[in-house]
Amino acid sequence: MKIYGHRANNKLVLKKYLTLKNIDGLEVDVSVKNNRVMIMHGPSPIVRPSLLGKIMGWIDYRFFYRDPYIRSLSISLEDIFGIIRKRGLELILDVKDINTIVRILELNNLPRSIIFTSKDHFAIRYVKETTNYKALVSIDSLPISIIDIISDSLADGVSINYAFIEDWLIDTLHSNNYIVYAWTVNDTATACKLENLSVDAVISDNPKIILYRRC
């Protein structure tokens, strides 16, 4: 089972992940801001009306979304690409829409070890129709027909909230030759359960404890 560091969106988080010798790869959020392709998630679209709610929303964004809060912590995509090549890692690019996908694909010298994930099924389909990159539909709720969604988007599989994973789902996806990535897995008990279910990879905020788990 592969293990990826979740939201390596700033230099502090990236440095922590890169100290792990056996980590398989990194995951970053990519957005377009001011007509530039950038590593960032952006604030939550949820509008909180109260002052306390706005404060909690700011804390949630700064500490959990991991976008750099000062410029010196920012990382460029080009820097991430160089690190990926040097370390022989895989890179998951989580994108919001097809416009971001198009802008990324316009960049020069993209590593071959990129995996695209998105909730935008048209974006995933665009990747598969125009490139040889691996692409996964991102799912945070269980649809009625998950196979139809994957098939329609031409995806290689799913990147799914681990809470929705059951043995029947893994069996169904694997029997159709689809891969399963689970997020966000931050404890060893869950990691061991998913490994026993033959999940292909997990994405974690704390990949160190997942790497050294004892199941």
Question: Hey, is 104 helix, strand or coil?
Answer: helix
**Contact present, 25 and 4 (Cβ < 8 Å):** yes
Structural domain that includes position 63:
2-211
**Domain count across the chain:** 1
Q: Does this model's pTM top 0.85?
A: yes
pLDDT tens per residue, range 87-122: 999 999 999 999 999 999 999 889 999 999 999 999
List phi, psi (to 5°) of 136. -125, 140
Domain of 168: which CATH number?
3.20.20.190
pLDDT tens per residue, range 152-211: 999 999 999 999 999 999 999 999 999 999 999 999 999 999 999 999 999 999 999 999
- Give me Rg for the CA atoms of the chain: 17
